Amino acid sequence: MQLERTSAEALPEPHPDSLRHCARVTESLRKAIDTAGGSIGFGEFMQHALYAPGLGYYVAGARKFGSDGDFITAPEVSPLFGQVLATQCAEILGGIPGGNILELGAGSGALAVQILGKLQAIDCLPERYLILDVSAELRQRQQQLIGSQLPDLLGHVDWLQALPESFRGVVIANEVADALPVERFLMNEGEVAQLRVACNETGFHWQQARAPDWLQTGVRAIERYIGRELPSGYLSEFSPALHGWIGDIANSLQEGVVLLFDYGVARREYYAPDRHAGWLRCYFRHHAHDDPLLYPGIQDVTAWIDFTEVAEAAADAGMEIGGYVTQSQFLLQGGLADELADFDQLDQTRQFELSRAVKLLTLPGEMGEHFKCIALSKGRATVPEAMALCDRAHVL
């Protein structure tokens, strides 16, 4: 099966500095491919393009979030997301004396500002707000934003280099899991082929090879779960890193709740017949496309989440599934209306801005249905009551 590539002509022209950085990442990937004997698995390609020290998309210095970046996350849409999340954190922390908040992959720092500001306003500040981020450049931006927006609270925030050994409180991961490297596979007359990345004088290209045993095992487990064989020509993704990542979080969590937000679906929908091209998406200057081999190091590469895998990994690690809801349900049941209580007193411009933000955060065709929240608990901690009102964990 020939995989078509996206034309660069369909995307905005990169800045010359970005192209120079892309050339450095490309050369580094070429060396890795040569060292590996001519090709590497897509998971290794994605890991390198996103996280290679000093080069990867998430660790280099280009702006990624907001209108000047490549994509917008919920905290960049409106403070409403963080304010509602903060009230849910306060409810959880009320049952964990001395509990703190740990945010994984804090991005621009906007969510931390929103949560801290709201918790201060309702007099529910934890002693510490911890941030774990792989990017030194993003850590610096987070410090600058929190310092400028909430200078009196900067002393409450600590930046970590690794997960704490024993944490009690709330763990927040907003759009983190989708950036974990995935493998791509293609079904060929009942056999599983791994999609690998090779290169020649014209650039990177796809190459098929017999899937290694661990990938074969993963795909066959998927087929057993959904109760049917995947047809020939079916292309999709499998995340070998997700299970371990959830396990690491569980090992760090002594008592508390993990709130994981991301775009994704349950496994039966993830591997539905009509999803024969997979769930991989790339973002460059607010343009979405499906060619991860284009512009390595200067575009985001993500894959939707199989939330059934999240639930299975959590159960294997000793956590309980406390709830699974859409982002819309989380916000509407979690107190969004309370955050809009003074709407009628606002001027028309502000009303328009808030209305637009609410639509983007909650409507089915926007973030409202595409994004889900799963709550994972450990110890005596309980999940927010709002999540129990519309829990759909049974679909997992």
In whole angstroms, what is the distance from residue 40 CA to residue 33 CA? 6
**In this predicted model, what pLDDT tens digit does every residue of 373-387 receive, in sequence order?**
999 999 999 999 889
Of 320, 328, 300, which is closest to residue 379 (Cα–Cα)? 320
Q: Quick one: 254 exposed, middle or buried, by C-beta within 10 A (0-12, 13-18, 19+)?
A: middle
Cα 379 vs. chain centroid, distance in angstroms? 25
Domain boundaries along the sequence of the chain: 74-179+244-266+305-395
**In this predicted model, what pLDDT tens digit does every residue of 91-101 receive, in sequence order?**
999 999 999 99
CATH number of 74-179+244-266+305-395: 3.40.50.12710
pTM of the predicted model, to two decimals? Answer: 0.95
Termini Cα distance of the chain: 32
Which pLDDT belongs to residue 128? 98
Which pLDDT belongs to residue 7? 58
**In this predicted model, what pLDDT tens digit does every residue of 180-196 receive, in sequence order?**
999 999 999 999 999 99
Q: Is the pLDDT of residue 272 over 90?
A: yes
Which pLDDT belongs to residue 104? 98
At 68, is the pLDDT very low, low, confident or very high (cuts 50, 70, 90)?
low
Mean pLDDT along residues 230-249: 98
Q: Quick one: 366 exposed, middle or buried, by C-beta within 10 A (0-12, 13-18, 19+)?
A: middle
In whole angstroms, what is the distance from residue 382 CA to residue 102 CA? 17
What are the structure tokens assigned to 25, written together? 């990442």
- For residue 28, the SS3 value is helix
At 366, is the pLDDT very low, low, confident or very high (cuts 50, 70, 90)?
confident
